[in-house]
Amino acid sequence: MKFRPVLPLVVLLSAPLANAQTAPVPPVTPPVTAPAPESVQFTTKLTPGSIRSYKVTVDQKGTLSIPGSGQTMPIDAKVTSYVKMIVDKQNADGTYAAHIKLGGVKMTSNSPMPMPPVQDSYEVKGTIGKDGLFTADPTVDKKPGNALGMSPAETMTGIFRSLSAVPLTSVAVGDSWSSVIPLPLDPSGKSQIAVTSKLLGVDAVTGDRVARVQRDIEGPVNLQLTEPMPLSITGTMKGSGVSKVSVTSGQPLQDDSKVHLKMTIQAPNSAGNGEQTNMGLDMDLTTKVESSVADVKPKANAK
């Protein structure tokens, strides 16, 4: 098909416009380029001898049930403790020898479920890696404790491990990264909790930058406990939270999170005849971590 006859018609119709005043052409505004998302490079720069103090509150709410019996028992307890992360020295490989000291551990309960007494102080030695993770020495992270047999030392170690996983490469606002946190007291090694973190934003503070990080955690739980009694705990945990992390030290400054536990607990029955009792646990753990004191040098006589 040919369109040549149309061309004269277009010329004819446009002829009157040839003598008309040409309207000024408005200036072309260049497109606005959105600024690149702010990025950060986390580091783990710690000062040997420095101390950072935290207040940690864990609310436990849920139910304990015996399958098939129709019996349930509410759980409503709160554990408050004061935690110090103390950096002992820098190792030759760039990691840090450190230890966590827990003091002022208090447990209150509004449920009829009996709560065993807890010691008010613990100490866990370990290593802070280049990714900010605190790994406890397994030979000392075994102390009796709360209603589930998990000690406050193990509980707090798990909390800080999930908070402190920072990427080794630069990340921009909106980027995500993943890490895996093994739970203690699992001889099978199957209790690997997946943590997916996302950088929400970065705030400037005096002498540092603070990253706001969203965390989603999920994974299986398989714990074999011996104290205060032999217990087998299997199930799942899933939750999320938002934390503030120092870009310079890679250490947590604040966190608010909620984790749901759905587990089966197997324990010796009260008759002592060697038979086991199965119980179901459905519980929410709401955790709040507050950094109460910035990094400071301990006094010469501090222990």
Determine if residue 9 is left, alpha or beta; phi over 0 gives left, psi from -120 to 50 gives alpha, anything else beta.
alpha
- Output the pLDDT for position 118: 59
Cβ pair 40, 171 in contact under 8 A: yes
Cα(19)–Cα(14) distance, rounded to whole angstroms?
A: 10
Return the structure tokens found at 252: 């947590």
Integer Cα distance of 167 and 131 in angstroms = 6
Per-residue confidence (pLDDT) for residue 129, from 0 to 100: 87
94: left (phi over 0), alpha (psi -120 to 50) or beta: left
Residue 286 has a pLDDT of: 93
Quick check: helix, strand or coil at residue 152? helix
Which strands, in side-by-side order, build the sheet including 96-109?
A: 134-136, 121-128, 96-109, 71-90, 51-66, 276-296, 252-268, 231-246, 208-225, 192-205, 176-182
Is the pLDDT confidence value at 49 over 90?
yes
Q: What is the mean pLDDT of residues 12-30?
A: 45
Q: What is the pLDDT of residue 144?
A: 42
2 vs 190, residue with greater confidence: 190
Residue 23 CA to residue 169 CA, distance in Å, equals 55
Residue 201 scores a pLDDT above 50: yes
Q: How confident is the model at residue 3 (pLDDT cuts 50, 70, 90)?
A: very low
How many of the other CB atoms lie within 10 Å of CB of 31?
6
Tokens 């935290």 appear where? 54
pLDDT at 5: 43
Q: How far is CA 268 from CA 73, 114, 158, 162, in A?
A: 18, 17, 27, 32
Q: Check if the beta carbon of residue 253 is closer than 8 Å to that of residue 261.
A: no
Specify the residue for token string 């984790």. Answer: 259
Residues 33-54 have a mean pLDDT of 82
Q: Tell me what the pLDDT averaged over the chain comes to.
A: 76
Residue 186, pLDDT score: 67
pLDDT at residue 55 greater than cutoff 70 = yes
pLDDT digits (tens, 9 = 90+) for 110-151: 766 555 555 567 788 888 888 888 887 766 544 444 434 455
pLDDT at 182 exceeding the cut of 50: yes
Q: Which of 23-27, 108-112, 158-162, 183-187 has the lowest mean pLDDT?
A: 23-27
For position 1, what pLDDT does the model report? 46
Task: Work out the average pLDDT over 170-196.
Answer: 82
| Partners of 128 in beta bridges | 96, 134
Mean pLDDT of 290-301: 57
Given this model, what pLDDT does residue 17 score?
32
Selected residue with higher pLDDT from 106 and 239: 239
